[in-house]
């Protein structure tokens, strides 16, 4: 049950950050959990949209391509 709560919080955080990102260049990467101000990528993984930094995007892209 602890995981569910954590997951819910993560989804909530993503939603909040997506809403507040419009005018702000900073975002929290869902992959590494760091606050980044660089290029932002949105990647849908298993039905969830993740906001990830440029570094993690390269990693995720490689994995996602494997399933295409």
Which residues form the interface with Zn ion (CB under 5 A)? 29, 31-32, 53, 56
Going 35 to 36 to 40 to 41, the CA torsion angle's sign is negative
Judged by beta carbon, residue 14 or residue 56, the one nearer Zn ion is: 56
Q: Which two tokens stand for residue 17?
A: 């950050």
Tokens for 48?
A: 């969830």
Distance between CA atoms of 42 and 18, rounded to whole angstroms? 10
* CB of 49 vs Zn ion, minimal distance in Å: 15
CB of 1 to Zn ion, least distance (A): 28
With respect to Zn ion, which residue has the nearer C-beta, 20 or 59?
59
For the CB of residue 18, give the shortest distance to Zn ion in the complex, in Å: 16
């Amino acid at each position: 049950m602890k995981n569910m709560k954590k997951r819910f919080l993560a989804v909530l955080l993503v939603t909040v950050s997506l809403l507040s990102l419009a005018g702000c260049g900073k975002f929290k990467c869902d992959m590494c959990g760091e606050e980044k101000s660089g290029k932002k990528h949105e990647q849908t993984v298993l039905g969830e949209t993740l906001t990830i930094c440029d570094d993690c995007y390269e990693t995720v892209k490689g994995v996602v391509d494997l399933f295409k």
